[in-house]
Structure formats: C-alpha cells, structure tokens
Structure 1
Amino acid sequence: MFRILKNSNNNSSRIISLFNNPTNNVIGSKRFYSIEQLKQKTKNQKLIQWVEEQAKLCKPDKIYICDGSEEEFNRLCNDMVEKGVITKLNSSKKPNCYLARSDPSDVARVESRTYICSNKKEDAGPTNNWMDPKEMKATLKPLFDGSMKGRTMYVMPFSMGPLGSSISHVGVEVTDSPFVVCNMKIMTRMGDKVLEQLKENDSFVPCLHSVGAPLKPGQKDSNWPCNSTKYIVQYPDERAIVSYGSGYGGNALLGKKCFSLRIASAMARDDGWLAEHMLILGLTNDKGEKKYIAAAFPSACGKTNLAMMTPTIPGWKVETVGDDICWMKFGKDGRLYAINPENGFFGVAPGTSASSNPNALKAIDRNTLYTNVALTPDNDVWWEGLSNPPSKAIDWTGKEWAPGSKTPAAHPNSRFTAPLNQCPSIDPAWDDPKGVPISAIIFGGRRSSTIPLVYQALDWKHGTFMGASTASELTAAAEGTVGKIRHDPFAMLPFCGYNMGDYFSHWLSMENKTKPELLPKIFYVNWFRKSPSGKFLWPGFGENSRVLKWIFQRCNAKGMEYADNSPIGIIPANDSLDLNGLDISKDNIRQLFSLNKTEWMGDLKSMREYCKQFGNKLPKEMNQQMDNLEKRFKDF
C-alpha cells in the first residue's frame, strides 16, 4: 500500500490512485514504477521520503523510476520522436542519434539567474548571486507547486564518478523532461546500479528540476517546454540543488556544473580536496613514460580539443580521461589523484572538425544527442566549422537556411552529448576508481595579447596566484558581450559554490597537506595570442603537443633544464620548445613570448581592483604575489 504523504490533500488521493492502477502508468509498452517499487529497490528512507515530498509538491500525473538501461533510453527517444520533440537522424550516417531544437530563449547557462544560497551572504561571496535560503525557498515553492501537472516525474539516481570510487559521490535528480533523462543517461552513471550501491544510511545530493510548464488536460505540449522565469539554485550548506524554468544543458542536467562544481567545490572545501573545471589527459612520450595533466580553461576555450588532441610530435600520445570536470583527492602516497566525475561529453559543436578534433568527430558519430545544430537534406547534422556548408539546411530555429544567410545555421553554443567511452583516444584508466596521479596543472584563457604561449609557476603559491589571475575573452557559452575580457579565476567564476576569496585560501592550503615536491607543477598557456594584424601567432590544435612536451620535460626537471627565468615565471629557454617540422617564423615565436611591461602592469592593476571585492577574505598571499610580480617587472 502506498504510504499517505504528510499534510495530504485532495491531490494526494489522485497520486495514490495512479500509483495503484498500473494500467495508467505506461510509457510505450513499459509500466511505470511506483513509490512502492522504489522501496523495493532501496532501503534509503531519506531518498524515499524526498521523492514523496517532491511528488506532493510538483503534482505529476505519473512517476517513473529510471533504471538507466539502453532499452529505457531508446524507448524514451522513440517516444519523443513520435511526439515531434526530437528528430531521428540518418541511421546510416549517425546511428542512434537525435537532434533537438531548444526554445530561442533557452540556449545557454543563465548566470544572472544562478544563485548560491548559503546561510550567510559572506559565504557566497561577491562573485555569486545570493539570496537567503528561507527567502529563496519561499520564492520557489509556489513555482514548483503543480509545476509537473500533466507530466511525468522521472527519478534518476546517478553517480558522479566511477561506481565504488572513494572520490565519487551520488546524487538523485527528479525532472519532468524526458530529454534531460536521456542526456543524464549519457553524462552520468545512472539508474539501478546506483541504487544498488546506495546503502540505507548513505547521503546523496537531492536535485529537483522542472521545466516549469504544467499541462492542462488536452493541452498540446511544446517541443521545448520551458518558462521565462528561471532559477538555478544551489544550497551548499544543505548539499542540495533546485532548478526551474530551463531545459538546457547545465541548467537542467544537474549533475553537470551544479553538482560537479558548485556543490562539489563546497564539499571539497570542507573535506580537503579539489573539485575543478578541468580536463584530464594522459600524456605519453616517445619512450613510453606517461604523466597525467589537468587543465582549466573557461568554457569554449579549447578544453575538449586539448583533451582529445592528436599530437603532431612523432611517438607522443594523448589519451582522454575527461574534457570538463576534475575531482582530485590525496592518495596515501601524498599525490593528488583525479577522476572525471562525468560519463560523457557535453561539447560545443561549432568549430569541431576533422582538422580541429578528429577524435571528437569519431566520438559523436553514434549514440549522440545534438542540440541546436543544423539539419541537412539527407537528415544529417552540420555546424559552422565542420566542413563546407551544405547547399541548404534547416537551421537551429527550424527555418530554411542557405550559405550567405545573415544568421548562423547552428547556434554558437550548440552542443553534442556523447558517451565518453566512444572516444577513440580514451585512456585505459578513465573509469579507474582509484583515479590517476596528476603531475601538472595548466591554467589558460583566450587572450589575444599580453599572455605568452606558456610559462611555469615559481612555486605552489605563485601557481595559485596564476590560477586566481586567469582572465579570458568571453565566448558564446556564457551570457555577456562576446570578446570582452573578464576575470575568471581558475575558470571557476560561474561555478564556485562559495566565496572566491575562501576558494583561493583553500588552494593555498593544499601546500600544507603533503610534501611540496609531491604537488603538481603549475603552468599557464595561451593558444590565442594574435599579431598586430589580428592573425593567430600559434597554429594550435595538434601543435599544442609541442607545449605539452615542454611541460612534460619540466615535470621531470630537477632544476632549470629547458627553462629561463622571467618576471612572470619560468619560460622556455631558447630552442627548448620542439619546433621540428613546424612552419612558423622566428618573428611569430618572438611575439608569442614577448612581455610588454605596460600591458602586464595594466593586467596587474585590473587584478588588484578585482581582488578588492573580497575584502578580508582575500588571503594575504595574493597581495604578496601581486607585489612580487610588480617588483620583478621593476627589475626587468
């Protein structure tokens, strides 16, 4: 018998009758699970009670407990195709692939509507939107009240990271979007296998999501239901997430940035580890020696391309552990070990091509969900930068498109969601519960001037300052003016779940948790520097392996091998960067490493102004590092 919900009302009896009448609970030919069947799958009373509470609040017509199977994925996709929500692509070219078009108002992260609702405002800090948790809950409750009427509530238990890993954590998302379910199936380890490992008293991160578009009886549904009112809310003190109004990307796939960064960063602060916006790759040299590298870039600045890079240096190999998120915890040997908590790629499509990222194209040629790319006449997909444009297409808004059109065929932030294990360059240890040992950490951004191709930190404190001083030109992956430079410390500005000043302190504290020589060495790169005429000075893509080779060599170095000192840190010595076979002028190399004192002092002034907002939360080491940089340039 279904247990009566607390404070039951007339709606409760409606839900009960649905749960007890299996003929009403079907999707295709599949019966829905009831709460009673959830109880058979788990003894975790917190989970059962939480799902019951969300059902009472959101008032769905049906509840479905996701099992995470391929059969379930295919069934949900076929159901969405039948309803015209998504389009099945050409099976001979893109087997088991689908295209979705979002509402034009729902195409990217909505940072202005993203909140960190810590108990104290100072704990959220000046770079986050804050609201008192009680006030936020009072705001959200009427929005969620009945928000799933006419819809199904899908319950998704998911693991961020390999099942059974001491670095992994579990979440449970409820949503009224089957498209979100299919994306989460790809992006996480989701379903029965997670419930099986969730013990009776285990904690989990509750994630409530609704597109905010209840249906009246007989009302025709939208192809992309959403609401003009949007909230993406994190409660770091409660380890909980609530999202309303958006069905797109990280706004709705709550294991993505909400859990893996905003909530996880707060967990990492409290428990002494790192949750970072970083790719992870394995780099093997021509002698068979291997090192693992983590790298933090703002969104759409080349993380996926670097993670799947095909090196141009003979005998060197790059293998992919992850392209976006990195969780690092100390091992018994004192080194930092990293996992990719995700199970798939959620990559930016435009610019992805056979020349920029051949491994990505192979990874997304099957079992992939595409969003907001163009549809070609032969039922394939296309986006700017993929290949020569088709003679005609249907653009991301559903309108006819042809070359020369004033608008792009694919939205600049159009995406693909693909299983990680389909990547040809996948690392053998990508799913290892132990994680992989990190030898180097790289920061970088999109800067057309000032920042050289690569340089190395003098020590951990200096490296923390380099991460804190990361700045990048805005891209279409975030709200704001494209091309404008904004500070993006550690590439975590939209993702840090607490005060950024405390976050700097947390990074500095890593130095006290192990021997300095066991910590990863820290570097900064800039593939995007341009000449005065506006042309890129460095070819990028596979040629970036030449920079990785220098980083690899510096990780093995005992002193200043391959290196020279500079005011900003350690830079490659003359002829230490492997340029064999690369057609690049000496003038380009000179410009790539030139240091303009005026530009650097301008950056430093901007950094000082930026840091003032943190007040007494700014660790004194940051001011010391800024003073040291200024002094080194005076002596330059």
Structure 2
Amino acid sequence: KEINEIMKDIMKGHELYIRFFTLGPSNSMFSVPCIQLTDSSYVSHSEKLLYRPGYEEFVRQGKDAKFFKFVHSEGELDERNISKNIDKRRVYIDTEEGIVYSMNTQYGGNTLGLKKLAMRLAIHRSSKEGWLTEHMFVMGVHGPNNRVSYFTGAFPSLCGKTSTSMVEGETIVGDDIAYLRKKDDRVYAVNVERGMFGIIMGVNSKDDPLIWKRLHSPEETIISNILVTPNKGVHWIGKDGEVPEKGINHSGEWFKGKKDDNGNEITPSHRNARFTISLDTLNNVDPKLDAPEGCLVSGMIYGGRDSDTWAPIVQSFDWTHGIINKASSLESETTAATLGQEGVRKFNLMSNLDFISIPLGRYIQNNLDFGNSLENPPLLFSVNYFLKDKDGNFLNEKTDKYVWLKWTELRAHNEIDALKTPIGYIPKYEDLKKLFKEVLNRDYTEEAYNKQFMIRIPELLAKIERIENVYKTKVPDTPEILFTNLAEEKERLNKAKEEFGEYITPDKWQ
C-alpha cells in the first residue's frame, strides 16, 4: 500500500528511461537478465558504463527468463535538482519476486539497482540454487611461463580490495561482486559487472597509477560529488596538487574553511565521491572479462584491517577451516574516516554482512557445502596489510601485496612449500626473500619476516573469544561446526603457548 501511495505520479513531468541489462556475461550459465526503470539520467548513464547490454539475453532466455526488476524515481526535485521529499524516501526489496523499488533518493547505493540492491536479490536466489554471490574482486595473477591463475578476494571498505585487484603486473576481471558456480568439479567465477564504481578519495598518481592514468585519458567517465573549480577544473580529497581556494561541491558554493551547521569543516569533495568507468578502458583489463564460461578459481582471499593479530598472509588448512577461521571470522578496525573513532574492531562476515539477505547461519552453511562438495576446492587465504609494531609503525609496505599474490599463485599449483602453524600455513623465509627480489627488487630481511609472521597467541585467543561471542549472541542458526573449529584452533594455540610462549617466531615451526 505504501509503495503504491508514494509511487503514484512520482515521475510526472520526468523522462523515463527503460534499460535492459544482464548481470554476468551474456549467453552464460551466470547470466541474470535485468530491467531498470528510472527517471534519473545519472542512473541510466552510470549503468550503461557498469553493466552489459541485456535485451538479447531476454530474447535468448525467452518466456522462462528469471529476471530481476528495478523501479527508481528521484521524486520531486528542488531548485538544485536534489530530491525534495526525504520523509518519503524508501527502498523496498522483495527477494521472493526479485523486484526492488527505490524512491525520493539519488544516493548511488540506493539508485543503481543492479549493484548492491541486485546483490541482495542474487544472494537469496543463489542460496536456493546452490551457487554463491560474493562481495569479491576477480583477478588474474600471473605466474611462471605465462601462466595466469584466477583469484577472488573479499575485503571490507578501506582495506585494500580495489588496490589489490589493480596491482601492477596483474590483470583485473572485476573489483566488487562475483558469482561463483561449480562445473566439472571445479569453481568458476565471473564479474557480475563490467565497470568500476570506485571511491575517488585518495586517488593520486603515486599510489594509484593505473586508475590515475585512466581518469586522465580521453575515455567516458562519470565523477560525482567532487569539487568543480571556477575554471572548470576538478579536485577531490587526496588528489595531486594544491587544494583550490573555492568552487562548487555537494554543499553548494565552497571555500577553504567552510563549516557545516555543526561547526565541522566541509571537505572539498565528499568522502564517498565516486568515479564510474568501463573496465575495458583499463590497460590492465583481463581478456576473460566477458568470457561466458568464467574464470577457473585457484584461490580465494579474505582480508581486513587488523593492527595486531593476523599475519600478512596465511593459507587455511582446508576449505572448512578457511570458511570458518578466516572468512567467517573477518574483522576490520575502523578508521577516523569511517566512524570518527579509530581502532574499533567491526565484525564483517566474509565482507558481506551488509548485503546478506538470508539468515547468517544458512549463508555460512551454503559456503561450507559449496566447497566441501568438491574433491579439490580452491585454496583459501587470509591477508592483512595493516599489521603494526608496538610503536604503531606499519610492518609492511603498500607494495608487499605484490609478493603475497605471487606466493598464493605458487601455492595454488603446489610449487612452493610452507610452514604449518596453529592458524594455517605461512610462507618460508627463503621463498619470500627470493620473491621480494624478483617482484619488487627489494631485499627482505629475516628480522622483518619474524616480526610479520610471528604468531601472536594472546591476540589470536582474544579474537576467537570475540568471534565466538558474536555467533553465540547474534546468530541463532550458527552451524555447530563453527564453534567446533574455533575450539580446535584455541586448543592448538594454547598447546603452542605452553611449548613456545605467547609470541612465537616462524623458526619454531621448521
């Protein structure tokens, strides 16, 4: 009833865009046709860059097509073309019928229906059909003899997801959402999209050379919520060069030192300012971007922002250990940019917590069943780029991830050995020393290795307690195997503590 009341005549006097798209490549077992109705040129244009055309997919699937439907309206606009009736701002998601209504909103997350709104529909659908919808990048990691191995990766916001998928020397299939299906006892993944809707804050020529180059090339690009200067230049937080004195941004007329109603200084661009591009305009796009069969998955990576617990890269013992002790135990520390308070640990199941549209226990069980039905499932890894020493200094360089990726690729082909610890397999020093020299032309000291890959038993035990508490108090349908696996890891850690002490260097596992 409320939907009908709010939506009645909401587009009166507006232009209606009717767009047909497909999630996943066309003519594929992954293809999900979609129809978008919107009165926003921004939504229509953005989705043109982000998704594959879908009309032919509707024709291919015919009357049996199981498609998603999205209806969006900005509603009545004010003199700045901003949605007026915010008291009637709504988003309705009907997972059974596969339809989403969003109204009186212009925020990308609530208007670009095929992105995270469609993800909620797909999680519900895939849980019934035996495949996975994950908040993951898909990338090609290049190994010896021109070999390319494909990895997926799940990271919460501001934890290195896009920067990992865009590592120089590797190739990107997608940076955000993946569908995973089984075929011939193997796992294949596709990028649901074919564009990038990225946060532009902090993008600069030094830290993000590939994105920087693309944003300064003559290709179609949409940038939103940035500062436009009087001479029609643009600026965003962290961009190369001096901050302009004035311009137009999300607050209207802007100048240095401008404050909001609460006395807080207004930044030149919004912290959630975005750029939208098609992936096929990137120099490092992978040839399998639109491959109907998808990419054969060699490994899956789970990473968070963690200053004192997880080592930089660890391989799980097996699929169950990876899904429970890595993916389902994922936490990320907040930054000042996210919540205004740094260092608060936030639980984020598989980096997908905000989008899971089924009971969490069922979601975990679906993941367990998916891999355990295979004779040789992909390897699972945890990564952590944010480990610090006791003085608060980072123990890793930003580029160290280049090496961790190469190590995972070699492990996926069983071409490199590892040390077995209570929390999984860690790299051997001599292998990393060689990789750092080959990949980064950097010397890698044993002192750095020992600090990075030390097993920190008090912190690891405290983490298990936190994770157990989350599932005991907030997830009533938690699979019992989760508590069993956490208890087994706790037992392994306590046994190691008795033998070697609370902080154990890698040489003890030789």
What TM-score comes out, normalization by structure 1 length? 0.71
8 Å CA contact retained: 1:392, 1:403: no
1:566 aligns with 2:421: yes
Q: CA deviation at 1:375?
A: 2.2
Residue 584 of structure 1 and its aligned partner are, at CA, apart by 6.0
Q: 1:280 aligns with which of 128, 138, 155?
A: 138
| 1:348-427 equivalences in 2 (<5 Å) | 348-365=199-216, 366-394=219-247, 395-402=249-256, 406-427=265-286
1:335 aligned to which of 186, 190, 203: 186
1:514 CA displacement? 2.2
Q: How far 1:419 sits from its partner (Å)?
A: 0.8
Report SS of the residue matched to 2:381.
Answer: strand
Partner of 2:430: 575
**1:229-244 aligned within 5 A:** 229=87, 230-244=89-103
1:602 CA drift (Å): 1.4
1:543 to 400, 412, 418: 400
Q: Which residue of 1 aligns with 2:502?
A: none
* 1:214 and 2:76 matched: yes
Query: Is 1:319 the equivalent of 2:319?
Result: no
**Percent identity over the alignment?**
29
Structure 2 residue identity aligned to 1:278: M
**Which residue does 1:606 correspond to in 2?**
466
User: Rg larger in 1 or in 2?
Assistant: 1
Shift of 1:237: 2.0
Aligned in 2, Cα 1:490/1:383: closer, same or farther, shift over 3 Å? same
- 1:446-504 Cα shifts (integer Å, max 9, x gaps): 11221110101000000111100111123689778565321101000001121111000
1:452 aligns with 2:303: no
Post-superposition Cα deviations, 1:128-175, rounded to whole Å, max 9, x if no partner, equal xxxxxxxxxx34332222322232332222111222111110111212
Deviates more, 1:273-282 or 1:240-249: 240-249
Q: TM-score, normalised by structure 2?
A: 0.88
Give the counterpart letter for 1:258 in structure 2.
Answer: L
TM-superposition CA deviations, 1:66-122 (whole Å, max 9, x none): xxxxxxxxxxxxxxxxxxxxxxxxxxxxxxxxxxxxxxxxxxxxxxxxxxxxxxxxx
- Matched residue SS, 1:199: helix
Structure 2 residue runs without a partner (length 5+): 260-264, 497-510
CA distance in 1, matches of 2:421, 2:143: 27
AA aligned to 1:342 is E
Maintained 8 Å contact 1:159/1:190:
yes
CA distance in 1, matches of 2:268, 2:308: 31
- Partner of 2:105, secondary structure, is coil
Deviates more, 1:416-425 or 1:506-515: 506-515
Contact between 2:419 and 2:425, CA under 8 Å: does it hold in 1?
Answer: yes
8 Å CA contact retained: 1:209, 1:252: yes
Q: 1:579 is paired with a residue of what secondary structure?
A: helix
Equivalent residues of 2:429, 2:446 under 8 A apart: no
Q: Deviations over 1:251-282 (max 9, x none)?
A: 110100111x2111111111111110000111
Which residue pairs with 1:228 in the alignment? Answer: 86
Aligned length: 481
Distance 1:615 1:300, change over 3 A: closer
Q: Mark the CA change 1:434 to 1:551 in structure 2 (over 3 Å): closer, same or farther.
A: same
Matched, 1:263 2:121: yes
Structure 1 unaligned blocks of 5 or more: 1-137, 311-316
* Amino acid paired to 1:304: T
1:623 is matched with: 483
Q: 1:150 aligns with which of 13, 26, 38?
A: 13
What is the DSSP-based 3-state SS (H/G/I as helix, E as strand, rest coil) of the residue aligned with 1:549? helix
| Cα deviation 1:571-622 (Å, max 9, x = unaligned) | 1122222222326665443332223222112111110110014555111110
CA offsets per residue over residues 212-261 of structure 1, 9 Å max, x none?
Answer: x336xxxx6532325424333322222222223321222110100111x2
- Map 1:78-89 → 2, pairs under 5 A: none
Distance 1:404 1:177 in 2: 30
Q: 1:473 & 1:493 partners in 2: Cα distance?
A: 15
Letter in 2 for 1:384: I
The 1:477–1:144 alpha-carbon spacing in structure 2 relative to 1, beyond 3 Å, is farther
Structure 1: distance between partners of 2:105 and 2:54: 23
* Separation of aligned partners in 2, 1:139 and 1:598: 52
Which of these residues, 341, 355, 359, is aligned with residue 499 of structure 1?
359
1:462 alignment partner, one of 314, 318, 321:
321
Cα distance change, pair 419–555 in 1 and its aligned pair in 2 (3 A): same
Q: How does 1:70-219 map to 2 (within 5 A)?
A: 138-190=1-53, 192-197=55-60, 199-211=62-74, 213-214=75-76
